Amino acid sequence: MTPAEGQGGSRLSRRRMLGFGGASLLVGAAAGVGIERVASATDDGKQATASAIPFYGPHQAGIATPVQDRLHFAAFDVVTDDRAKLVRMLKDWTAAAAAMTAGKPVGAGAVGGPDVSPPDDTGEALGLPPSRLTLTVGFGPTLFEKDGKDRFGIKAKRPAALVDLPQFPGDRLDPNRCGGDIVVQACADDPQVAVHAIRNLARIGFGVVAVRWSQLGFGKTSSTTPDAQTPRNMFGFKDGTRNVAGTETSALDKHIWADKADGSDWMAGGTYLVARRIRMHIETWDRTSLGEQQDVIGRDKNEGAPIGQKREHDEVDLAKLKPTAHVRLAHPDSNGGVRILRRGYSFTDGSDGLGRLDAGLFFIAFQRDPRTGFIRIQNNLATDAMNEYIQHVGSGVYACPPGVREGGHWGETLFG
């Protein structure tokens, strides 16, 4: 049974599906502390609904929706030239994504099926709430044309805005952390839920796609909810103070959502995702004086106020910041008024063999057009004092189609 077929028969939440027997399994797994909380959640579907972000809608979730705590970002290569197989997989992925974001298992679930075949769902999210899981899909330039080949008959539909990113000064990109034909951004408050989602999509896609590279993120570095406390990045500074908020409808329409008028009908209501794995030289930063750190960013470390001001959300007075301050160079007034929606995460992937943390910012930004968004700002950051402390080592740009209507599927507007 494909996950799409199995979907119709699966009306139970991950938690309810466990029933009484499942609850006792959880008692073993939860080892004491969280048992009561988990058991009562098992009896009450309300909490699950509250932590689910709607999958269907005019825009994909995971962009303007509130930022969750954890990330699993995965870029896939398509390993077949068969368009029908690719579309079939996108349909199966959609059904699985709709189920998982609602807290349900994939297909017929992880348990209770025939002993002779592998279960539809891998099972590690059994008993966990939806955890505000969002799954956001994007298509890379190579899906439209790879090595001069129009594999899927969509070359003519490549949006003008989906340009290959230029080489920026200081880039040290690892080809094994770049590109990909299709990307899926999984965000959730529980890392196990995000990892479960990517794992199941990879499994469903076997023979059609293969994971090219992926990244886990553990701490959000920006916010789409300015009323909430602004998170801090690995440099210890508040990050995301001046971001596009999820409630700023007109700014979203102007700077983030693509429009028919931009030239690609199928992208109307979609957006473009730029991802950069940015290594931060933590040890060097930690030996830098507080005054220097604040000059580099252009804000104070405690409150997050712009230099020369008192409160975090006070207006930035660019003239009071050093000409090389990050905030001054990234500010819309230094970039023709452009705004991007940042939604990145911190990462720490152990150490690098030389005793230094392999840590940094997995930068993710959404924008209506990368040429006037990320590329413009990144070019302006060429003189950023922060460059002494960071290095871009991974990169990708992807066209994220509009949201899915009920009964529709990922890629419908592109392949339909």
Q: Which helix (H) or strand (E) segment is 279 a member of?
A: strand 271-280
Tell me whether residue 132 or residue 299 sits nearer to ligand HEM (CB atom).
Answer: 299
Per CB under 6 A, the list member of 181, 239, 300, 412 interacting with ligand HEM is 239
Cα–Cα distance measured from residue 360 to residue 367, given in angstroms and rounded to the nearest whole number: 22
Look-up of token digits 């199995």: 6
Does the protein bind ligand HEM through residue 240 (CB under 6 A)? yes
- Among residues 196, 215, 280, the alpha carbon closest in space to that of 74 is found at 215
Q: Nearest CA to 185 among 59, 69, 71, 348?
A: 71
Binding region for ligand HEM (CB under 6 A) out of 2-10, 73-81, 162-170, 236-244: 236-244
Determine the angle formed by the axes of helices 83-101 and 191-204, rounding to 10 degrees: 150
Q: Which residues pair with 138 in a beta bridge?
A: 183
Give the footprint of ligand HEM on residues 365-384 (CB under 6 A): 374, 377-378, 381
The binder of ligand HEM chosen from 15, 104, 146, 331 (CB under 6 A): 331
Contact 213, 157 (CB under 8 A): no
Placement of tokens 């886990």 in the chain: 216
* Closer by beta carbon to ligand HEM, 170 or else 175: 170
Q: How many CB atoms lie within 10 A of CB 168?
A: 15
Write down the least CB distance from residue 338 to ligand HEM, Å: 8
Residue 383 beta carbon to ligand HEM: minimum distance, rounded to whole angstroms? 13
Residue range at the interface with ligand HEM (CB under 6 A); choices 77-85, 97-105, 208-216, 356-364: 356-364
Report in angstroms how near the CB of residue 162 gets to ligand HEM at its nearest: 17
**Pick from 411, 361, 353: nearest CA to 386:** 361
Q: Beta partners for 348?
A: 359
Question: Tokens 């109307």 appear where?
Answer: 268
CA distances from 217 to 69, 157, 364 (A): 8, 32, 11
Residues in region 160-179 near ligand HEM by CB under 6 A: none
Measured from the CB atom, the residue of 199 and 299 that comes closer to ligand HEM is: 299
Nearer Cβ to ligand HEM (162/327): 327
CB atoms near residue 5 (< 10 Å): 13
**Bridge partners (DSSP) listed for residue 73:** 185, 215
Which segments of 234-344 does DSSP mark as H helices, in order? 249-251, 282-286, 290-297, 326-330
Q: Which residue is associated with the tokens 């044309």?
A: 145
Q: Which x/- pattern, by CB under 6 A, does the window 206-235 give for ligand HEM?
A: ---------------------------x-x
Query: What is the spatial distance between Cα 394 and Cα 163, in angstroms, rounded to a whole number?
Result: 17
275 vs 399, which CB is nearer to ligand HEM?
Answer: 275
Contact residue for ligand HEM among 144, 237, 266, 398 (CB under 6 A): 237
* Nearest position to ligand HEM, beta carbon: 330
Helix axes 14-30, 35-43, angle to 10 degrees: 160
413 binds ligand HEM (CB under 6 A): no
Of the candidate residues 104, 158, 196, 299, the single one contacting ligand HEM (CB under 6 A): 299
Cα gap 409→416, rounded to integer Å? 10
Could you write out the DSSP letters of every residue in 158-203? --TT-PPPPPPTT----GGGB--SEEEEEEESSHHHHHHHHHHHHH
The window from 70-78, 108-116, 193-201, 327-335 that contacts ligand HEM (CB under 6 A) reads 327-335
Binding mask 268-297 for ligand HEM (x = CB under 6 A): --------x-x-x----------------x
Minimum distance of ligand HEM from residue 188's CB (angstroms) = 23
Minimum CB–partner distance for residue 289 and ligand HEM (Å): 17
Q: Which of 241, 264, 346, 367 binds ligand HEM (CB under 6 A)?
A: 241
Residues lying near ligand HEM in the complex (CB under 6 A) are found at 233, 235, 237-243, 276, 278, 280, 297, 299, 316, 326-327, 330-332, 340, 360-361, 363, 374, 377-378, 381, 390
